[in-house]
Amino acid sequence: MAKGFPIKRQPGFATIAMICFFLLYLPIVTLVVYAFNANSSMAVWGGFSLRWFYAAWNNEQVIEASLRSLRIASVAAVIATICATMAALATTRTRPYRGLTAKYAFINQPLMVPEIVTAVALLIFFSRIKVATGYSGLGYLILAHTAFCIPFAYLPIRARLENMDLTLETAAADLYATPWKTFRRVTLPLLWPGILAGFMLAFVISLDDVVITEFVKSGGQDTLPTYMLGQLRRIVTPEMNAISTVFLAISVVIVTLFFLVSRRRT
Amino acid sequence: MASASEIAVERDKADIRKRWLLSAPALFLIFIAGTGPLFIVIVYSFLAPGNYGDVKWEFSTDAWTGVFLERDMFDDTLSVADAHLQIFLRSAWLSLVTTVLTLIFGFPTAYFIATRSEKSQAFWLFLITIPFWTNLLIRTYAIQEVIRNEGIVNTVLLWTGIISTPIQIMYTDWAIALGMIYVYLPLMVLPLYASMEKIDFRLVEAGYDLYATRFQVLRRIVLPLVKPGIVAGCILVFIPSLGAYVTPRVLGGGRNLMFGNLIELQFGQGRNWPLGAALSLTLMVIVMGALIFYVRNASRGDRRHG
């Protein structure tokens, strides 16, 4: 065979891939560009302006919803990451024991059930509890978000643990370290990138959630996504683009960090 | 005195007990806000609807018959619920279209990424991942901006003179399909890439040595090797499409309902929680069926390859 014959090439594949990437980014780029449009009509370009960012910044509902989103996401992601770390420690680096497969299935359960079904189930369940206890705070949203964030936090932590062997821990134990000390000084530092990746994943997932939040929230508990969903029913202004752009920027930053953290090898 | 093996057994038992304790918080939270409420949904699906939402605590199977049948208001006869059936069929059809088209576009894209050098693979993967982690609602809104009457597509087509009046894309089934393809494409590309990355290209080379054409290599060597990735990608796209709620709500404009919107309707204007519960369970059974099909298929594939 002639040297340099490109065996991996398939005709047209690169073209289709380029079209895909173009189409994937065209709507997003358009959205971002029009966030800087001075004109209030979305069809006409009226020059560069930051007025819609100012408008969003001065919109009390937007700020309130954003802060609520951040509050829910941070609490839910922290709890979910702690639980997921413990669960990952309990389900890796062991001989199979009874109930291990069941545990896997259970932890991944939120990934398998359609979101709308979970949303409906939580709506029914929480409405009962609301009537029974009279409590209608953010707790329900935080609880719901924590539960569906656990499998997302669990994935990278477990992957990281599976690549760590027990040699160092055994060595620490041989040197009379207590189990807790071994965990703090050996396991935790090694596991840290996985935990960080898990946390960021959980954070983004919670920040992005629309469906479950839409069903679980009580009146006046809009998060940024549910606020935007409500707005999309009306005539939208470029303010929506400005909010989306900021949201997008946050996601991009977190994803980039996630990539950097999870690519780092020991 | 306990023998060494007895001590070892004891230690194993203690270890397993510790492992259960460690996983308890995660299992508990998922039970409280995930699995447990699903059982309540089962109970609710056998109750009668309350007048203002919620339920009346009396046993009834009306919700389940209501999933497929409707009772005539005047003479109490049962007939097939055309409205529901139409929504089921639309959901299935649109999900199928979405799955097939994401596969057609996603396959070459994944192959393209998998055949780059290791460094640029990371870059292209990153480009796929960014939209994937971008809020679903923002992506749906972005698509809306492109396809609405004053959007880019119509502007360009009008400007070039191909059309003289804007094409109505928004609020049609096509808008929903387009939106879902856009939103779920990364879900197809990622598992495809994962299985293509592992292809041993010496097999491809061997194929060419035996005078196979490019198409034959693709069909006889690449396709069988990445079949698990294809199945995984199709499942990952089909399942959320079937239960999609946001995309059809925004792009379908409340007229072209899908399964998810039908369920929501029962908890909103419909005020028929038991029917909503029964519909949710129907959706879940279909999804579980698809997952079981996938698991069976995947494990069979494993055995074949070794």
Q: Collect all residues with Cβ–Cβ distance below 8 Å to B111 and sequence separation of at least 6.
A: A10, A13, A17, B192, B196, B222
Is the pLDDT at A3 greater than 60, yes or no?
no
The pLDDT tens digits of the residues spanning B275-285 come to 999 999 999 99
**Pure H helices in B172-272:** 173-196, 201-209, 214-217, 223-242, 246-251, 259-267
- Residue A45, pLDDT score: 81
Task: Check pLDDT > 90 for residue B96.
Answer: yes
Measured between CB atoms, does B204 come within 8 Å of chain A? yes
Task: List the 177-196 stretch of B: residues with Cβ below 8 A of A.
Answer: 182, 185-186, 189
For residue B186, the chain A residues in CB contact (below 8 A) are: 24
Name the residue among B77, B80, B60, B76 with its Cα closest to residue B68: B80
Where along chain A do the CATH 1.10.3720.10 domains lie? 60-263
Chain A: residue nearest B238 by CA?
A114
Q: Report chain B residues whose CB lies below 8 A from the CB of A132.
A: none
Nearest to B189 by CA among B108, B98, B97: B108
Q: Which residues of A touch B109 (CB under 8 A)?
A: 16-17, 20-21
Distance CA A100, CA B136 (A): 33
The alpha helices in chain A, defined as continuous H runs, are 13-35, 51-57, 60-91, 100-107, 109-112, 115-133, 139-162, 167-174, 179-182, 188-208, 211-216, 224-231, 238-263
Kindly report the average pLDDT of chain B as a whole number. 88
Return the DSSP state at A95: -
Q: Does B115 touch chain A (CB under 8 A)?
A: yes
Chain A nearest-CA distance from B42, in A, is 9
* Nearest-CB residue to A94 (from B19, B29, B106): B19
Taking the model in full, what pTM does it have? 0.89
pLDDT band at A1 (very low <50, low <70, confident <90, very high): very low
CB contact under 8 A, A8 and B201: yes
Residue B303 has pLDDT above 70, yes or no: no
The chain B residue lying nearest A142, using CA atoms, is B33
| A116 vs B128, B150, B263: nearest CB | B263
Evaluate whether A255 touches A204 at the Cβ level (below 8 Å): yes
- The residue-averaged pLDDT of B250-265 equals 89
- Whether the predicted pLDDT of A173 surpasses 90: no
Within 10 A of A50 (CB to CB), how many other CB atoms are there?
12
- Interval B74-95: pLDDT, tens: 777 777 778 889 999 999 999 9
pLDDT digits (tens, 9 = 90+) for A10-58: 889 999 999 999 999 999 999 999 899 888 776 678 888 899 999 999 9
What is the fold, at CATH topology level, of the domain defined by A60-263? MetI-like fold (1.10.3720)
Task: Answer yes or no: is pLDDT of B39 > 50.
Answer: yes
* The listed CATH number (1.10.1660.10, 1.10.3720.10, 3.30.470.20, 2.40.10.10) that belongs to domain B82-305: 1.10.3720.10
* SS3 state at B258: coil
CB contact under 8 A, B106 and A10: no
- pLDDT category, B151, cuts 50, 70, 90? confident
Q: Does B216 touch chain A (CB under 8 A)?
A: no
Residue B48 phi, psi dihedral angles, 5° rounding: -95, 145
- A83-119: b (≥16 Cβ within 10 Å) or e: bbbbbbbbbbeeeeeeebeebeebbebbeebbbbbbb
A113: chain B residues, CB-CB within 8 Å: 34, 38, 284, 287
Q: Sketch the domain layout of chain B as residue ranges.
A: 4-79, 82-305
Q: In this complex, is the C-beta atom of B106 within 8 Å of any C-beta atom belonging to chain A?
A: yes
What number is the ipTM of this complex?
Answer: 0.90
